[in-house]
Amino acid sequence: MSTGWLVGIGIAGFLVALALAMILTPLVKKFAIRIGAIDVPNQRKVHTRIMPRMGGLAIFASFTVVILALLPFIPNNMMLSHNRNLIAAMLTGGTIIVLLGALDDRFELSAKLKLLVQIAAACVVVFGFDVKVNILNIPFGSAMQPLGEWLSIPLTIFWIVGVTNAINLIDGLDGLAAGVSGIAITSILVMGILTGNGTVILLSAVLLGSIAGFLHFNFHPAKIFMGDSGSLFLGFSLAMLSMLGFKQITVVSFVTPLLIIGVPLSDTFFAIIRRWVNKKPIFAPDKGHLHHCLQQLGFSHRTTVLLIYGIAAFFGACAVLQSYLTETGLGNWVTFIVICVMVFLLQIGAELIGIVDRSRRPVLDFLARMRMKTETNSRSK
């Protein structure tokens, strides 16, 4: 079948999932209020009134129902048994993650227990369905080498658990985690279309529709929060989709999925550094995340979210471009340069907004000293 046929199925899945999510979200809202799955304001949170959470159930339910409904209509030559196995892995692991998140939305589980269950879900994907990264592409070369189990298994588990938690950490403003996840999934969808990857097209399109339907109720001012049931599921889904689409791993080519989720990953990285610098537990919550820093600079709730959407879209566009250049054989050196530039810009941005420590700005201080030295030398001449 042609890519056009795949795209057509994806569009149908997107529209049905969007409509279903818009129907289910108000029902989930009533259910959350009835069972006491609510978010109470405190000094760390930005909302000022009690809000129902557990909205991730609407995203997960619409996604799962549409995927299961579409599978029987997809010809076998479009969906090989291997691809169906990948979908089963995503649905099974996703179910575990959503149940974990829903319980946390209601009972507020400990961080250690949540981490253990996330590792268990990743192990189900790896050992139960044999889904893992297993190919090494030598940087700046064409040789392909298989990864040993001792490296492939922990790498895959680390990736799934890490990305799952990265989305959870940025879920601090109305529509933020849903929108950033939607932008990342759109990037994956575009690359799936460019490469003709039917599995990625189907999963991405349906998941994007589910997010869009929920975002109608979640954008500022939100009527419901997605809760951990949503943020953990979206993080897990992004981890799975990025693995399915980019299974040839190298320091360079692995940058593509890293760029796709650049906003949550960079925010998570700076959160770890910030807590380490301030000698606080890594899992201790604080108000130093990207969205907090932007609001402290005076940006409104809605403007902050839109700014982060823009940053996420920039990362996604870079990922699509990098993937295209890699496919054409031009990506290695271009990607290396992009990595260096983006790391520099991330550090500058982090120091400007004070995401790690407002009193420590090593790069900006160094640049200021260099400028003063240049000006002094110019005057002395």
Annotated binding residue at 197?
A: no
φ/ψ region of 75 (left if φ > 0, alpha if ψ in -120 to 50, else beta) reads beta
Specify the amino acid at residue 156: T
Rounded-to-integer distance, Cα 147 and Cα 134, Å: 5
- Whether the CA torsion 345, 166, 320, 178 is positive or negative: it is negative
178 and 226 in contact (C-beta within 8 Å)? yes
Cβ contacts of residue 62 below 8 Å, gap of 6+? 17, 20, 21, 24, 209, 210, 213
115 and 152 in contact (C-beta within 8 Å)? no
Query: Residue 263, Cα to own-chain centre: how many angstroms?
Result: 8
Rounded-to-integer distance, Cα 381 and Cα 378, Å: 5
Upstream peptide bond of 52 is cis (omega within 30 degrees of 0): no
Q: What are the angstrom distances between the C-alpha of 297 and each of 190, 292, 352? A: 34, 9, 10
Give the pairing of strands 144-146 and 38-39.
unpaired
**What SS3 class is residue 24?**
helix
Residue 242 CA neighbour count, 13 Å, CB half? 30
Q: Which residues are annotated as a binding site?
A: 168, 228
Q: Which residues are annotated as a binding site for Mg(2+)?
A: 168, 228
